[in-house]
Chain A
Amino acid sequence: METKTLKKEVANTDKTIRISGAEAVIRSLLEEGVDLIYGYPGGAIMPIYDELYKFQDKLHHVLTRHEQGAAHAAQGYARVSGRIGVAMATSGPGATNLVTGIADAQIDSTPMVCITGQVARHLLGSDAFQETDIVGISTPVTKWSYQITNASEIPEVIAKAFYISKSGRPGPVLIDITKNAQFEEFDFCYKKCNGIRSYKPVPVVNKEKLQEAASIINSAKKPFIVFGQGVILGNAEEELKTFIEKTGIPAAWTILGLSALPTDHPLNVGMVGMHGNYAPNLLTNECDVLIALGMRFDDRVTGDLNTYAKQAKVLHFEIDPAEIDKNVKTEVAILGNVKESLAQIIPLVNEKKHESWHEEFKKKRDIEFEKVIKKDLYPEKEGLTMGEVLKEINNATGDDAIIVSDVGQHQMFACRYAKFKRSKSNVTSGGLGTMGFALPASIGAKMGAPDREVVAVIGDGGYQMTIQELGTIFQTKVPVKIVVLNNNFLGMVRQWQQLFFDKRYASTELTNPDFITIAKGYHIKAKQVKKREELVNAVNEMIASKEAYFLEVCVEKEDNVFPMIPTGSSVSDIRLS
């Protein structure tokens, strides 16, 4: 793997030097501590790439095979490292190819800065070669976007971009730089951004609201916590653990909250949502107090809002005021960073056990185990299940891998059955549901956490959406492990067709290529598994490999993910089969 920690240039805000806008971009990135960029060059960004060439000992550039790959790789890097991912592309198609990754980062609150080249200022609006209004296109899916047309704007705008992207509720920022601004010379000096007049990223925690929330928690008989990615983004994992251990409240996670609490923690009661666990979904409609921590009541979590937790007093701990009462009406809203608000409420809450309430979770978990989990993890039928593949990955990695999953049935199996000991270990496209996310995101994840095992779990559909990134893996020698769970179907859509469209499998069956030959074409070690008795050894061999490794597991063709809450149904209507 070529990536290494590169020497950071020392910030010097006092001196000015006369340099080009292109060099100013590189120097600004170095001032922000960036040492890794994912991208793809082209006409309108060539001056910046020329400077990158000169600074290659300080700033490592990973050439992906498509700009979408660059954006997802930057996301993967950001999600595991907690730093800002940086992606770069040229104007026009280069810029528009980033958009899917940007939209994904926006909905999943991933800090990312994208830099795009743009045609020269005098050509703007003339439909020049490779001109698109990328600021206009990306506006609805960015936290902030800005077009630079003069070189002198570069340091201030980049400083602002990094501040906005990472502070408060993180998100993607796009900076579009015209080609003339890249060539122009100006007197460069860099000052980091510490605040913007109109932007207050973290609301101050209201102590009276905390008291009110604590009093409700203390008098609750059946309290229940649902935590989301806000816990991970706010580095509040320890506070979450202390809070639940003191109050004895069962805690469930959203898909992006996964790994904030170790899987085997006794108070961890599983996943909420459409394919979440039976107990936390069902008991959402029986709890008397619902405590939402750093989560946004996504429709995949709530199902029908008219029947969601109507009996409960809802306490919402959230950094983004726009999320309060957006979907679910709250009794008390605690605005602020969840790390800070949890730390402040812990002394105010009483120690409790809630044993009989826990017993209800256990009873329902036993039902789910008998009807679903047992057949997923310990199947008696001949065909391999996705669940048992995840179980073997857990075994081979000691429950300590970073699992990067794509979108579809395999994603739900991965999120249900992958086990985690550490936070920032689950990387998946939650809000946007972007097929093609996992392969490039796993490259970024491995570069963001080089000492950890990174396993990408992908379906045969999503794999082929960004399969070209095998070239990036080959070139960078990044040792990611790729598991394709191949059922020759767009499995999740097929499942819906089976359940809700009378088995009319319209355009969901895939005739796949020889994945092993393709992997080998990229000089990546590869193996195919078709039988159960081959699985354990193959997974172990993959994990033991020091290099990238591709494992294709041919799984049962028409397996389904259960439990399931059909779209628009109540969480109480969760189906086990």
Chain B
Amino acid sequence: MEEKKTFTISVYSENNVGLLNRISGIFLKRHINIESLNVSSSEIDHVSRFVIVIYATEDWTKRIVKQIEKQIEVIKAFYHTDEETIYQETALFKIESHLLFDERQIQNIIKESNSQIVTVSRNFFVISKSGRRNEIEELYDQLKPYGIMQFVRSARISVSKEEMQISTMLKQFQEQE
């Protein structure tokens, strides 16, 4: 049986209402959980980019990518392994302000983890940390004993090491039209 891995699916699409529903439905139909989902603008005007992380076999990932590409508004979809991408997540940690002064170790943790203090107020301060999932988890484990008031982690954003050639493809489409 084929081994399951983490795959990052990148979808370039028209920016249309309802497409998210169509794309998420493809995963739902196959009972595959979306580990992380981010939708944003891309390097091309009026073209959106979905970054979807799943844990599945390559065979299933391939099939899913084909189904995604079949959707009318999708320009192109790709899938990559972790080794083929540069990816990051961002997390915010909200912690009681007095700890910043009372617990000297907290300052060391912030420094060593390359995280940033976003804001400091009378009652709390907020740390932002960008990096791979394990780096964020490591920071979480270090801060947890001191008490974390709130924690949130973003979806993965990712760029591929190889070129995706969407601009070339769009140019070809326009020439054909």
A316 to chain B, nearest CB (A): 13
**Of A139, A320, A324, most B-chain CB atoms within 10 Å:** A139
Residue B66 contacts which of A146, A147, A197, A322 (CB distance < 8 angstroms)?
Answer: A322
Task: For chain B, give the interface size range.
Answer: 20 to 34
Bound Cα distance A143, B70 (Å): 9
Does A575 interact with chain B (Cβ within 8 Å)?
A: no
Does B72 interact with chain A (Cβ within 8 Å)?
A: yes
Contact between chains at A198 and B63 (CB < 8 Å):
no
A453 to chain B, nearest CB (A): 38
Contact between chains at A135 and B18 (CB < 8 Å):
yes
Contact between chains at A322 and B70 (CB < 8 Å):
yes
Residue A197 contacts which of B18, B22, B67, B170 (CB distance < 8 angstroms)?
Answer: B170
Bound Cα distance A147, B16 (Å): 11
Does B173 interact with chain A (Cβ within 8 Å)?
A: yes
Does A266 interact with chain B (Cβ within 8 Å)?
A: no
Residue A326 contacts which of B21, B63, B74, B177 (CB distance < 8 angstroms)?
Answer: B63
Contact between chains at A322 and B67 (CB < 8 Å):
yes
Given known A-B contacts A139-B18, A145-B18, A146-B18, A322 and B25 have beta carbons under 8 A apart: no
Residue of B nearest to A198 (CB): B75
How many A-B contacts at CB < 8 Å in the complex?
Answer: 48
Residue A136 contacts which of B21, B67, B173 (CB distance < 8 angstroms)?
Answer: B21
Bound Cα distance A163, B39 (Å): 28
Chain B residues closer than 8 Å to A198, beta-carbon distance? 13-14, 72-75, 173
Does A522 interact with chain B (Cβ within 8 Å)?
A: no
B18 to chain A, nearest CB (A): 6
Residue of B nearest to A321 (CB): B66
Q: Chain B interface secondary structure, helix, strand, loop or mixed?
A: helix
Does B135 interact with chain A (Cβ within 8 Å)?
A: no
Residue of B nearest to A144 (CB): B72
Residue of A nearest to B26 (CB): A140
Does A500 interact with chain B (Cβ within 8 Å)?
A: no
Given known A-B contacts A139-B18, A145-B18, A146-B18, A164 and B72 have beta carbons under 8 A apart: yes
Residue of B nearest to A163 (CB): B72
Given known A-B contacts A140-B29, A321-B69, A197 and B21 have beta carbons under 8 A apart: no
Chain B residues closer than 8 Å to A200, beta-carbon distance? 173
Does B168 interact with chain A (Cβ within 8 Å)?
A: no
- List A293-342 residues whose CB lies under 8 Å from chain B: 320-322, 324-326
A230 to chain B, nearest CB (A): 15
B66 to chain A, nearest CB (A): 4
Chain A residues closer than 8 Å to B25, beta-carbon distance? 139-140
Contact between chains at B18 and A322 (CB < 8 Å):
no
**Of B22, B67, B70, B75, most A-chain CB atoms within 10 Å:** B70
**Contacts A195-B177, A198-B74, A325-B63 supplied; 9 other A-B pairs, CB < 8 Å:** A140-B29, A197-B14, A197-B75, A197-B170, A197-B174, A198-B14, A199-B73, A321-B69, A322-B66
Residues of B within 8 A of A (CB): 13-14, 17-18, 21-22, 25, 29, 62-63, 66-67, 69-70, 72-75, 170, 173-174, 176-177
Residues of A within 8 A of B (CB): 135-136, 139-140, 143-147, 164, 195-200, 320-322, 324-326
